[in-house]
Amino acid sequence: MGNKVLILGGGFAGVEAIICLRKEKLEVTRISNRDYLYVYPASIWIPVKKIEFKDVCVSMSVLEKTHGFT
| Per-residue pLDDT tens digits of the chain, which is 70 residues long | 569 999 998 898 999 999 999 999 999 999 999 999 998 888 899 999 999 999 999 999 999 999 899 9
Domain hosting residue 8, numbered range: 4-67
For the whole model, what pTM was predicted? 0.78
**pLDDT in the model for residue 1:** 55
What is the spatial distance between Cα 21 and Cα 58, in angstroms, rounded to a whole number?
A: 20
What is the DSSP track for the chain? --SEEEEE--SHHHHHHHHHHHHTT-EEEEE-S-SEEE-GGGGGGTTTTSS-GGGGEEEHHHHHHHHT--
First to last CA, the chain: 20
Count of structural domains, the chain? 1
Q: What does the angle CA 61 – CA 38 – CA 31 come to, to the nearest 5 degrees?
A: 55
